[in-house]
Structures are given as structure tokens and as C-alpha cells.
């Protein structure tokens, strides 16, 4: 799995080089960090959420990705794959909605302050 890659990315982002410092930063026991790096153990939801916070990722997407990969049978794997698609779609819609809201808000601000690019009455 990509656990060690994610942990290395955390180290780079935090500007640290040791697993001990990473464990302190993520508030995860040092032995667990070593186990995650060597592949002896898979991270639990808490560890994945801490890693996602460190990297600026959506914790739920990361947890679902790991659940999908570690699912024991095809039924569970397809459930997690479908679930991941369902949580990604709303976030795309949310981004679009936020962009529309910001555009509308800045447009209203310009209407209140007519000294902007589109001044009323200048060419009318």
C-alpha cells in the first residue's frame, strides 16, 4: 500500500527527517510509525485522519481508499469503491457551488461600489 509514501510526504511537508519526530507530530506511537513504514501493520482510521490532516487531504476519502484496498471480499470492495465515488461527487459540486457563490458575492460588491470596471451610467 502507499502508507510509507504518505508518511514520507508528511515528513517532507513538516520538514522533519526522523520517524520519532513524525510520530510526535502526528500523535501516533513511534512503534506504529515503524510498523506502517515497514508494512507490518495497516493504519487505522485515526492514523489515516492524522495523515490526511497533515497533507491537506480529505480524511474520509483516504479512509475509504484504504478500506477498499484492504477489503476481504469482492462485495466489500465494490461497496467501498461505490462509496468513494459517492463522496467525491458531492465535493466537486461543493467546489462549483463555492465558486458560484464567490462570483455572485463579488458581483454584488461591485454593484454597491460603482467605481469598478462596470460603472452604471457612464455609457448609458
Domain CATH for 87? 1.10.260.40
Which tens digit of pLDDT belongs to each residue from 30-88?
999 999 999 999 999 999 999 999 999 999 999 988 998 888 999 999 998 898 888 77
Q: How confident is the model at residue 14 (pLDDT cuts 50, 70, 90)?
A: very high
**Residue 84 near residue 64, CB atoms below 8 Å:** yes
What is the separation of C-alpha 12 from the centre of its chain, rounded to a whole number of angstroms?
A: 17
10, part of any domain = yes
17, part of any domain = yes
7, part of any domain = yes
Mean residue pLDDT across the chain: 82
29, part of any domain = yes
What local confidence, expressed as pLDDT, does residue 24 receive?
A: 96
**Residue 23 near residue 14, CB atoms below 8 Å:** no
Q: How confident is the model at residue 124 (pLDDT cuts 50, 70, 90)?
A: low
Q: Among 57, 51, 77, which residue's Cα sits nearest to residue 42?
A: 51
Q: Could you list the residue range(s) of the whole structural domain that residue 106 is in?
A: 3-112
Number of domains in the chain: 1
13, part of any domain = yes
57, part of any domain = yes
Its pTM surpasses 0.85: no
124, part of any domain = no
Amino acid at each position: 500500500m502507499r502508507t510509507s509514501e504518505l508518511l514520507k510526504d508528511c515528513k517532507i511537508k513538516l520538514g522533519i527527517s526522523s520517524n520519532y519526530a513524525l510520530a510526535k507530530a502526528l500523535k501516533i506511537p513511534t512503534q506504529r510509525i515503524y510498523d506502517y513504514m515497514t508494512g507490518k501493520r495497516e493504519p487505522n482510521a485515526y492514523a489515516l485522519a492524522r495523515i490526511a490532516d497533515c497533507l491537506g487531504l480529505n480524511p474520509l476519502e483516504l479512509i475509504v481508499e484504504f478500506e477498499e484496498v484492504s477489503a476481504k471480499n469482492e462485495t466489500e470492495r465494490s461497496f467501498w469503491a461505490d462509496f468513494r465515488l459517492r463522496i467525491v461527487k458531492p465535493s466537486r459540486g461543493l467546489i462549483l457551488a463555492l465558486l458560484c457563490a464567490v462570483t455572485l458575492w463579488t458581483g454584488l460588491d461591485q454593484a454597491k461600489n460603482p467605481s469598478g470596471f462596470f460603472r452604471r451610467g457612464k455609457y448609458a
